[in-house]
A = this chain, B = another copy of it.
């Protein structure tokens, strides 16, 4: 309590009158130690306020008992829910969780993978859609291999695989299917002219959602009007601005499929301001089912993604936790979770 630097295992050993090996065994409970000795050691630990040094441990042993997660932004609920799943599942497996944010920068993302590798994280979980970019993908691939060589795992969570020759694990959700389902829902409600709004055009997430949307239109024999697709970004502002502009220019549509709930919130605000009632005049749907969907009035019909579950799956996959009956199966490398529509009050048949 009074010394300026922490007690080491050797200090504890001296105080308890044993060797450091014995102290280590008491701490790790991985080897029989006489009860009396154990008690003496435990007393010494308490008296000295000894706290093990995780680095020395990681160096001597092998694993650091840590998992890393790389996301865009902790404040964004989409990422926050996944992070929560990762954190909780990591805790279940006795791991600490290092959360890193890229703020959307590829460079930072790559640097963070390296940093987490240096920390010898048991797993590095990369969350969120990826932009199409060969050079970038190659860099990620290189790091996946390095991690693999070092006995760790890169998990892609919510983005497509890098190919069979890159040693990653992946947790997917049915992005395309959700978009298909909700578009089809809109169509069965009678909508024919549906505005697709938002999402960075080169992001895998946007591409998949748009693909599902188009497939539904095609299946119902509807033409895909070019003027009805406006990609851009995932923020609220985009939804707001775009709807105001499109309304002003008099574009004809009866429903809006916002690429995510945040965009939908902007859309609803613009509609409110323009005096357009939802769902009577215009129907609106979103994607993700984050809390804002339930704050909106009317509440938003959207596609639910089991975000927290994805986070949990990512760490299970990485840590190789056995699934149901796969003790003979090859190591599992991909998990896919489903999406589902959540019907609330923002959709009605067109007038």
A-to-B contact residues, CB < 8 Å: 1-6, 49, 51-59, 64, 66, 73-75, 77, 80-81, 83-84, 87-88, 91, 96-101, 114-120, 142, 145-146, 149-151, 265, 291-292, 295-297
- Which chain B residues border A73 with CB–CB below 8 Å? 84
- Which chain B residues border A77 with CB–CB below 8 Å? 75
Q: Nearest chain-B residue to A83 (Cβ)?
A: B74
How far is it, in angstroms, between the C-alpha of A168 and the C-alpha of B6 when the chains are bound? 17
B100 near A87: Cβ-Cβ < 8 Å: yes
- Which chain B residues border A151 with CB–CB below 8 Å? 4-5
B97 near A5: Cβ-Cβ < 8 Å: no
How far is it, in angstroms, between the C-alpha of A97 and the C-alpha of B84 when the chains are bound? 15
Given the contacts A51-B117, A97-B99, A120-B53, A1 and B149 also touching, CB distance less than 8 Å: yes
How far is it, in angstroms, between the C-alpha of A265 and the C-alpha of B145 when the chains are bound? 48
Given the contacts A87-B74, A97-B98, A54 and B120 also touching, CB distance less than 8 Å: yes
A118 near B58: Cβ-Cβ < 8 Å: no
Q: Nearest chain-B residue to A6 (Cβ)?
A: B150
Instruction: State the 7 A-B residue pairs at the shortest beta-carbon distance, nearest first.
Output: A295-B295, A99-B99, A55-B58, A54-B118, A55-B55, A6-B150, A55-B59
A5 near B150: Cβ-Cβ < 8 Å: yes
Closest beta carbon of chain B to A3's beta carbon, Å = 7
How far is it, in angstroms, between the C-alpha of A143 and the C-alpha of B114 when the chains are bound? 32
- Which chain B residues border A146 with CB–CB below 8 Å? 1, 6, 49, 51
B295 near A265: Cβ-Cβ < 8 Å: yes
A119 near B295: Cβ-Cβ < 8 Å: no
Stoichiometry, as copies per complex, reads 2
Closest beta carbon of chain B to A195's beta carbon, Å = 22
Partner of A149, one of B49, B55, B120: B49
Q: Nearest chain-B residue to A87 (Cβ)?
A: B101
Partner of A114, one of B51, B55, B98, B115: B51
B118 near A99: Cβ-Cβ < 8 Å: no
How far is it, in angstroms, between the C-alpha of A297 and the C-alpha of B150 when the chains are bound? 53
A75 near B80: Cβ-Cβ < 8 Å: yes
Closest beta carbon of chain B to A206's beta carbon, Å = 23
Closest beta carbon of chain B to A285's beta carbon, Å = 18
How far is it, in angstroms, between the C-alpha of A56 and the C-alpha of B52 when the chains are bound? 15
Given the contacts A58-B55, A96-B98, A297-B297, A5 and B149 also touching, CB distance less than 8 Å: yes
Q: Nearest chain-B residue to A79 (Cβ)?
A: B74
A98 near B99: Cβ-Cβ < 8 Å: yes
- Which chain B residues border A75 with CB–CB below 8 Å? 77, 80-81, 84
- Which chain B residues border A101 with CB–CB below 8 Å? 84, 87-88, 91
- With A5-B149, A52-B118 known, 8 other A-B pairs at CB within 8 A are A6-B146, A49-B149, A54-B118, A54-B120, A75-B77, A75-B80, A96-B100, A98-B98
- Which chain B residues border A66 with CB–CB below 8 Å? 98
How far is it, in angstroms, between the C-alpha of A81 and the C-alpha of B88 when the chains are bound? 19
- Which chain B residues border A115 with CB–CB below 8 Å? 96
How far is it, in angstroms, between the C-alpha of A59 and the C-alpha of B4 when the chains are bound? 17
Closest beta carbon of chain B to A315's beta carbon, Å = 14
- Which chain B residues border A100 with CB–CB below 8 Å? 87, 96-97
- Which chain B residues border A54 with CB–CB below 8 Å? 55, 118-120
Closest beta carbon of chain B to A20's beta carbon, Å = 16
